[in-house]
Structure 1
Amino acid sequence: MTRRPISRRRIGRLALAAGAALTAAGCSPLVLLNAAVSSQGWLSTTGVRYGAGPRRRLDVYRPRGVGPFSVVVWFYGGGWDSGERGGYEFVGVALARQGFVTVIPDYTLSPDGRYPEFLEDGAAAVAWTLEHIAEHGGDPARLALMGHSAGAYNAAMLAYDRRWLGAAGVPADAVKAFVGLSGPYEIFPYTVAITRTVFGHVQDDGVEPMTHVEPGAPPALLIHGGDDGTVDPRNAPTLAEALRRVGTRAEVVTLPDAGHVKPLLALSPPLEDAAVLRPVVAFLESVLGPTAPR
């Protein structure tokens, strides 16, 4: 019997139906969304080691063309206890097609590690990016950090708590912008079981990115679903207010009636939504400069 390929429309319906399950599972591998990715317009290099340890590998997605292109380091979510870089090919491809070289690292997950090990991993991935991204057509002088859910937290901490990148030898001004999708920026005191497991050994609000915001902090775009039942939508304006107090540009985009995974699913080919992709690209280009011709 001949098997017919799954249509993009069918993939889109299945992915939407899986939305609640993805929320409960913390963004498990998104096979359906990756299945809809076309091979046109991008190149990839996968499984690159960025440091010692079983989780310190990353994938690079780049536009076709000579560049140099702006660079985004993407951190996936999963509640700090699940996730794998290969599940987010669709994110790397979506951003590469918009003209950004995209780096997606794995990082230490619970129960094998806890705060701040995943931030140390993320800092090492950023250091690798600055050193090597020109080999992949990227411009290390135009670097942004971006993430979804727990990954948005990781990216925000790297952007605003200078301890982690500094310890990895990354210059204080290396990160030019931060984009957070559905990010939990207020986590202390710990009211969720996974935060008690991952952060419970630290009993102060220094685990929150807004406590480290200083003048000269990178500008931010914060996108959040107005109907997010996993991370309170108030997290975005709270971080934005902290940034604005020190004179840093901070934009908040609220998606009415959208849940926790909608901003992530909006980057996928079958569910691509201009309400997310357009402000992301516009913000990054306004900070990093126009993308290079492809």
Structure 2
Amino acid sequence: MVRRRFLSLLGALSGAALLAGCAADALNAVTSGRGFRRLKGLRYAPGARGTFDLYVPDGLSADAPLVVFVYGGSWDSGSKDIYYFVGQSLASAGFLVAIPDYRVYPETVFPGFVEDAAAATAAVVRLSRSGGEGVSAGRRPLILVGHSAGAEIAALLALDDRYLARAGLGARDVAGFVGLAGPYDFLPLKEERYKRIFPESVRADSQPINFAGGRMPPMLLVHGLADTTVDPQNTRSLAAKVRSAGGSAEVLLVPGLDHVGAVSSLATALRLGDGRVRESVVRFVRARA
């Protein structure tokens, strides 16, 4: 019944609306809750958006990768509750997964949301290493994963080491970065809303491509060629800059895949998007262990 309801919603909604409202609820409703436990609302900072959810696989090994997933939402919206299907998908592969909330506009502007993601990541790493919340302690490889605006945030954590350093981590703590449909090189800004979110005095620092150089973690950059929200050229440009600076950037450009498809492809309950995306992400993360 729930599956039929979701398929009906899927047919009625556009790709851009797929992860909004009742459609996300329906996808999460048909997503399995077996094989892991979900610890909700673990705090890393004060305030309503200062918490993260942790997905702990049954039989978690001490050297299993730790994945921090940063969701998108144009830097002004989004919720960790929408992405239960992502937590399940990656936990089912044996990874310890954290999905944090973070402050969004107008509560904060750049770089506030990046600072929140750094604080959340540091809190998750400390928990993992100390064995808190019943999680087996281990020094796990840290993989940052982000979609859309979350990919911009996670890319800055991976490339601009100031954020994690302030949170008590170092560049060497990041073993890999996965970007799904990310905006990495999106200046000049045209919309007034984005000009408010990214103040002019710090706008250049919001571009991950400007920090591609020096020590960089290996990257997997995924983009749908049917994406009309974030130009796939963002992925091509970052990959070229990383490679020219001596880094490693694997690129997966998927014909026919739209913006939301880059993340909905991770779902295991239903075949959404393109299965190569999840296969590539799981393979990349496992290779960092």
TM-score scaled to structure 1, two decimals?
0.90
Call closer, same or farther: CA 1:130–1:12 in 2, change over 3 Å. same
Letter paired with 1:189: P
Residues 20-99 of structure 1 aligned to structure 2 (within 5 Å): 20-22=15-17, 27-29=19-21, 30-68=24-62, 69-99=64-94
Equivalent-residue separation in structure 1 for 2:54 and 2:221 (angstroms): 24
- Report if aligned partners of 1:28, 1:82 keep a CA contact under 8 Å in 2: no
Gaps in structure 1 of 5+ consecutive residues: 290-294
Residue in structure 1 matched with residue 271 of structure 2 by the alignment? 271
Equivalent-residue separation in structure 1 for 2:271 and 2:284 (angstroms): 21
Equivalent-residue separation in structure 2 for 1:151 and 1:15 (angstroms): 24
Residues 108-123 of structure 1 aligned to structure 2 (within 5 Å): 108-123=103-118
Call closer, same or farther: CA 1:111–1:247 in 2, change over 3 Å. same
Call closer, same or farther: CA 1:84–1:174 in 2, change over 3 Å. same
- Report if aligned partners of 1:50, 1:128 keep a CA contact under 8 Å in 2: yes
Shift of 1:195: 2.0
2:171 counterpart SS class: coil
Residue in structure 2 matched with residue 6 of structure 1 by the alignment? 2
- Report if aligned partners of 2:161, 2:170 keep a CA contact under 8 Å in 1: no
Equivalent-residue separation in structure 1 for 2:125 and 2:202 (angstroms): 33
Per-residue deviation, residues 246-282 of structure 1 (Å, max 9, x unmatched): 2111011011011111111111221354211111111
Shift of 1:118: 0.4
Q: Does 1:147 align with 2:146?
A: yes
Shift of 1:51: 1.7
Call closer, same or farther: CA 1:113–1:204 in 2, change over 3 Å. closer
TM-score scaled to structure 2, two decimals?
0.91
Per-residue deviation, residues 176-212 of structure 1 (Å, max 9, x unmatched): 1000111011122112344212103336522211111
Per-residue deviation, residues 75-105 of structure 1 (Å, max 9, x unmatched): 0000011111111111000000011111000
1:271 counterpart SS class: coil
Equivalent-residue separation in structure 2 for 1:180 and 1:139 (angstroms): 25
Deviates more, 1:267-276 or 1:68-77: 267-276
How many residue pairs get aligned? The number is 280
- Report if aligned partners of 1:230, 1:260 keep a CA contact under 8 Å in 2: yes
Residue in structure 2 matched with residue 292 of structure 1 by the alignment? none
- Report if aligned partners of 2:128, 2:140 keep a CA contact under 8 Å in 1: no
Percent of residue pairs bearing the same amino acid type: 38
Residue in structure 1 matched with residue 161 of structure 2 by the alignment? 162
1:202 counterpart SS class: helix
Equivalent-residue separation in structure 1 for 2:213 and 2:137 (angstroms): 28
Equivalent-residue separation in structure 2 for 1:28 and 1:120 (angstroms): 26
Equivalent-residue separation in structure 2 for 1:259 and 1:6 (angstroms): 25
Call closer, same or farther: CA 1:47–1:282 in 2, change over 3 Å. same
- Over aligned residue pairs, what C-alpha RMSD do you find? 1.8
Equivalent-residue separation in structure 1 for 2:137 and 2:275 (angstroms): 25
1:259 counterpart SS class: coil
Call closer, same or farther: CA 1:13–1:94 in 2, change over 3 Å. farther
Shift of 1:13: 4.9
